[in-house]
């Protein structure tokens, strides 16, 4: 009897694990060379939320590196989403070496409900949800899916962002300076340097193996992959130059990887930054600043003021050090402890 129950359980669990094999896994392993497969993965949670994750698997003429790019982790950041739409139309599988995994909009709920930063369903910011939870809310499940299914197949993981609805931003490319994985980090640095982005930011990497990575490309780095992120575009708008910069960046990286031949090399002198200082808002209020992303600031300079709703100044905002404004809040409302301005500089 025990063995019968055991047999039944084995059959049950093997059936479940077949069902459990995702359509992504099947499409990825069965796709011929060259081929394009577009999938929609559905997610539901016990709060009655539902959403979907679109994924395109582009297999080239021959096997080679696997390059993953994701846009729309923040669904209100439009230049990345528009750039990836154009790339999906332009890239020919027959001219590709290796595989592209493309997530054109990672937070479709945020996109279609025009919600900055968060999925409006569950209130979770996907950029902060990694490694995710298999039985969590829909956003946590999406993070878990990308961590378990997509990142393991990937050699290079590119996470494309821009300034969200309220963010003024200088375009830049960034990576983690992970000294534990020198080869992956070196590749991230080289891809940054060919990308066509003038500003290159490297972040210190201090994550322990069991610390939550929070961000998708940091998850990729924690899992031993080469991870990078682009920031281009601002203030919840579609700027054509920001879209074009992203596309050039992707094509130049694919060229460097020997995957696709459409590089547009530009002669630019890179500016490297490795240090970030964040000015946080001391209170809620209305933020006034004549500074823009890309402006240089001197240590101690007043870079803005906060007023209360009656127009009384409640705080002078001063730069904690000299550097360049990488991004700042570009619209009036601010909350207590929110990052008003990120100042970046280069420390030897
Ligand atoms: Zn973002």
Exposed, middle or buried: residue 108 (CB in 10 Å: 0-12, 13-18, 19+)?
buried
The string of DSSP letters for 44-96 reads E-TTS-EEEEEEEEEE-SEEEEEEEEEE-SSTT-HHHHHHHHHHHHH--GGG-
Q: Separation of 91 CA from ligand 1 center, angstroms?
A: 24
Q: Which two tokens stand for residue 20?
A: 């459990």
CB proximity list for 316: less than 8 A, separation 6 or greater: 302, 305
Q: Separation of 178 CA from ligand 1 center, angstroms?
A: 22
**Is the preceding peptide bond at 330 cis, omega within 30 degrees of 0?**
no
Q: Separation of 317 CA from ligand 1 center, angstroms?
A: 24
- When pLDDT is cut at 50, 70 and 90, the band that residue 30 belongs to is very high
Domain residue ranges of the chain, discontinuous segments joined by +: 21-271, 275-345
pLDDT at residue 16 in the model: 45
pLDDT at residue 260 in the model: 98
pLDDT for 18 beyond 50: no
The string of DSSP letters for 191-233 reads HHHHSS-SEEEEEE----TTS--BSHHHHHHHTT-EEEEEE--
Q: Separation of 146 CA from ligand 1 center, angstroms?
A: 17
- When pLDDT is cut at 50, 70 and 90, the band that residue 267 belongs to is confident
Residue pair 103/161 in contact (Cβ under 8 Å)? The answer is no
Q: Separation of 109 CA from ligand 1 center, angstroms?
A: 15
- Secondary structure of residue 317 in the 3-state scheme: strand
R_g of the chain, CA atoms, integer Å: 22
CB proximity list for 333: less than 8 A, separation 6 or greater: 166, 286, 287
Q: Separation of 244 CA from ligand 1 center, angstroms?
A: 18
- When pLDDT is cut at 50, 70 and 90, the band that residue 9 belongs to is low
- When pLDDT is cut at 50, 70 and 90, the band that residue 22 belongs to is confident
Exposed, middle or buried: residue 250 (CB in 10 Å: 0-12, 13-18, 19+)?
buried
Residue pair 194/258 in contact (Cβ under 8 Å)? The answer is no
Domain 21-271 coded CATH 3.40.30.10: no
- When pLDDT is cut at 50, 70 and 90, the band that residue 121 belongs to is very high
| Strand partners for 113 | none
- When pLDDT is cut at 50, 70 and 90, the band that residue 274 belongs to is very high
Helix axes 240-256, 78-90, angle to 10 degrees: 50
* Percentage with pLDDT > 90 across the chain: 91
Residue pair 98/34 in contact (Cβ under 8 Å)? The answer is no
Q: Separation of 329 CA from ligand 1 center, angstroms?
A: 13
Of 23-27, 57-61, 128-132, where does mean pLDDT reach its minimum?
A: 23-27
Q: Separation of 322 CA from ligand 1 center, angstroms?
A: 25
Report the topology of domain 275-345: OB fold (Dihydrolipoamide Acetyltransferase, E2P) (2.40.50)
């Amino acid at each position: 009897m025990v063995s019968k129950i055991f047999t039944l359980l084995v059959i049950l669990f093997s059936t479940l694990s077949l069902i459990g094999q995702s359509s992504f896994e099947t499409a990825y392993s069965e796709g011929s060379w060259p081929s394009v497969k577009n999938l929609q993965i559905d997610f539901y949670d016990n709060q009655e939320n539902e959403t979907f994750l679109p994924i395109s698997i582009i297999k080239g003429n021959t096997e080679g590196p696997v390059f993953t790019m994701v846009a729309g982790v923040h669904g209100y950041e439009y230049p990345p989403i528009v750039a990836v739409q154009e790339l999906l139309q332009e890239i020919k599988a027959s001219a590709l070496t290796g595989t592209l995994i493309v997530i054109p909009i990672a937070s479709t709920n945020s996109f279609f409900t025009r919600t900055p930063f968060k999925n409006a369903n569950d209130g979770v910011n996907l950029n902060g949800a990694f490694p995710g939870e298999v039985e969590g809310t829909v956003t946590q499940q999406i993070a878990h899916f990308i961590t378990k299914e997509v990142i393991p197949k990937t050699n290079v993981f590119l996470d494309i962002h821009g300034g969200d609805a309220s963010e003024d931003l200088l375009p830049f490319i960034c990576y983690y300076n992970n000294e534990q994985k020198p080869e992956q980090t070196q590749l991230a640095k080289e891809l940054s340097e060919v990308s066509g982005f003038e500003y290159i930011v490297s972040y210190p990497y201090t994550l322990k193996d069991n610390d939550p990575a929070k961000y998708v490309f940091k998850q990729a780095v924690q899992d031993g992959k080469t991870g990078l992120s682009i920031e281009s575009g601002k203030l919840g708008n579609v700027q054509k130059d920001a879209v074009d910069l992203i596309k050039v960046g992707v094509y130049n990286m694919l060229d460097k990887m020997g995957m696709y031949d459409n590089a547009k090399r530009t002669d630019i002198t890179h500016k490297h930054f490795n240090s970030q200082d964040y000015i946080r808002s001391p209170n809620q209020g209305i933020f006034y600043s004549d500074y823009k992303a890309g402006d240089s600031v001197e240590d101690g300079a007043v870079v803005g003021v906060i007023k209360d709703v009656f127009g009384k100044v409640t705080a002078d905002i001063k730069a904690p050090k000299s550097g360049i404004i990488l991004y700042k809040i570009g619209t009036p409302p601010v909350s207590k402890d929110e990052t008003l301005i990120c100042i970046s500089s280069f420390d030897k």
